[in-house]
Amino acid sequence: MALSERHVTIRSQLRRVLAEGPRTARELSARVGIGEKEVAGHLRHLARSLRQSGERLHVEPTRCLACGFVFKERTRLDKPSRCPECKSERLAASRFVIVGGPRGAGVS
Ligand SMILES: [Zn+2]
């Protein structure tokens, strides 16, 4: 019980932080007080619950800072470790943002 309540709280906090604008997993972990590796799992659940309100979790893909390669194919939420093109580890982290919402999408 306590564990799932905590998870619900974390997700509502994530949602509030994401509503402010795009955030990386690292920024989210710092704001909500969870490990960076836990963020992806919470975001998956959050994305599912957002659908009910017509919102969507949009992921801005990871980019390679060395050659500009964009990880478009990547559907997992966690961060890749290096660029498949140039093997650089200088990657701009994916950023997450909530888009859409009840405004304009609701039934009047
Ligand atoms: Zn690269």
Task: Give the chain as a DSSP string.
Answer: -HHHHHHHHHHHHHHHHHHHS-EEHHHHHHHHTS-HHHHHHHHHHHHHHHGGGTEEEEEEPPEETTT--B-TT--SSSPPSS-TTT----EEPPEEEEEE-STTTS--
Dist. CA 31 → ligand 1 center (Å): 29
Q: What CATH code is assigned to 2-100?
A: 1.10.10
Q: CB neighbours of 8 closer than 8 A, spacing ≥ 6?
A: none
Q: 3-class SS at 54?
A: coil
Dist. CA 90 → ligand 1 center (Å): 8
What global pTM score does this model have?
0.75
Dist. CA 82 → ligand 1 center (Å): 8
Dist. CA 42 → ligand 1 center (Å): 29
What residue ranges do the domains of the chain occupy?
Answer: 2-100
Dist. CA 65 → ligand 1 center (Å): 7
- pLDDT digits over 28-69, tens only? 999 999 999 999 999 999 999 998 889 999 988 889 999 999
Instruction: Find the mean pLDDT for residues 19-33.
Output: 94
Dist. CA 71 → ligand 1 center (Å): 10
Dist. CA 93 → ligand 1 center (Å): 13
Please answer whether residues 39 and 79 qualify as being in contact, where contact means their C-beta atoms are separated by less than 8 angstroms. no
